[in-house]
Amino acid sequence: MRVATLARRGLRLRPGAWPATAGRAMSSSSPPPHEELTHFGEQAVPKGDKEGLVRGVFSSVAGNYDVMNDLMSGGLHRLWKDEFVRMSGVGAISDYMRDRDSGANLAVLDLAGGTGDIAFRIARALGPAAFLEGEGRRPARLVVSDINENMLGVGQSRAAEAIGESLARELEWQAVDASSIPFDDGSFDLVTIAFGLRNVTEPERALAEVYRVLRPGGRFMCLEFTPAVTGFTPVVDTALDGVYRAYSFNVIPRIGQLVAGDAESYQYLVESIRKFPAPDALASMMREAGMEQVSYKALVPGVVAVHSGFRLD
């Protein structure tokens, strides 16, 4: 994606972050040497600018995000999200906590929750009874968060239709930067993030924040694309990865142009997948953040995986 295109959308970069030649592709211009760099898709950008650039992408795609997900995945993202929430076991855990009459109930934070896809599934799994306040018992809590208010607006507008008005009223919607979560230590039993961690400027910092806000025994779950096809034989991996890469880079941006009039934002989304750590590397990052019993399960080998880790102290 080009800086000039983002500028036409009204996105302001920090003064001095780019030289006068910034209208060319980012990779062809070099920021000042004192700037610490990170990746924005395939391009190197000053770390302080990535959040604003990503915000611009998701502000652009918010209105068509769910339709594009259907077109890009052939509807498979719905099955992946169903399995993700099923693996969390939130419904059974909430029932168990309520049946014990301990006064406790489940508290869930969905990061990068945007249009509500994961939160709606969690709300349905919990059911209306989980949100009832009884004598000596707290109701369940479900916080839907995203750094982009446009994405949150889309989710809020469709909540009642997706899960019914009574459940929709129980959701808390809050603008949250995953790298600086505005909740106290030990606030949540479950923290989820789906297809969002790769857009965070400092994922290590976000994982440390997740660990901080988890209660002892709490769980973190991440649904994310993997950067390259693996899990078969080397020859098959190479062949399938070539097909996957060709589809991602040649077809998805064109679909974005046809449906949303925005090929460049979807070009970034594709590039961000290729830059994201492989599952083993992400597992190591989770352990470094303090999580234990870290594991991952490929839902489609080399395409998408569910990552899980616990805070046990």
Q: Write out pLDDT tens, residues 117-142.
A: 999 999 999 999 899 887 667 899 99
Q: Which two tokens stand for residue 36?
A: 């610490």
Q: Which residue has the higher pLDDT, 302 or 88?
A: 88
Percentage of the residues of the chain whose pLDDT score is greater than 70: 81
Q: What is the pLDDT of residues 7-40, one digit of tens each?
A: 444 443 333 332 222 333 334 445 555 668 775 6
Q: Which residue has the higher pLDDT, 44 or 164?
A: 164
Pairing of the two strands 141-146 and 171-175 = parallel
For residue 59, the model assigns a pLDDT of 72
Average pLDDT over residues 187-199: 95
pTM: 0.81
Indicate whether 41 pLDDT > 70.
no
H or E element that contains 220:
strand 214-225
Q: Which residue has the higher pLDDT, 100 or 22?
A: 100
For residue 29, the model assigns a pLDDT of 46
Q: Which residue has the higher pLDDT, 265 or 30?
A: 265
Pairing of the two strands 43-46 and 37-40 = antiparallel
* Range among 1-10, 58-67, 249-258 rated most confident: 249-258
Query: What are the φ/ψ torsions at residue 191 (nearest 5 degrees)?
Result: -120, 130
For residue 206, the model assigns a pLDDT of 97
**Residue 156 burial (C-beta neighbours within 10 Å; 0-12, 13-18, 19+):** middle
Q: Which of 219, 217, 218, 214 is nearest to 187 (CA)?
A: 214
Q: How many residues does the chain have?
A: 313
Say which residues have a Cβ less than 8 Å from residue 248's Cβ, sequence separation at least 6: 270, 273, 274
Q: Which of 218, 205, 207, 225 is nearest to 274 (CA)?
A: 225
Per-residue confidence at 157, pLDDT binned at 50, 70, 90?
very high
- 310: which strand partners? 219, 292
For residue 160, the model assigns a pLDDT of 96
Per-residue confidence at 101, pLDDT binned at 50, 70, 90?
low
Q: Which residue has the higher pLDDT, 89 or 235?
A: 89
Per-residue confidence at 145, pLDDT binned at 50, 70, 90?
very high
Say which residues have a Cβ less than 8 Å from residue 200's Cβ, sequence separation at least 6: 112, 178, 179, 206
Residue whose pair of structure tokens reads 């994982």 in the numeric block: 207
If you average pLDDT over every residue of the chain, what do you get? 83
Per-residue confidence at 243, pLDDT binned at 50, 70, 90?
confident
Indicate whether 310 pLDDT > 90.
yes
Q: Which residue has the higher pLDDT, 269 or 128?
A: 128
Rounded Cα–Cα distance for residues 8 and 240 (Å): 37
Average pLDDT over residues 220-230: 88
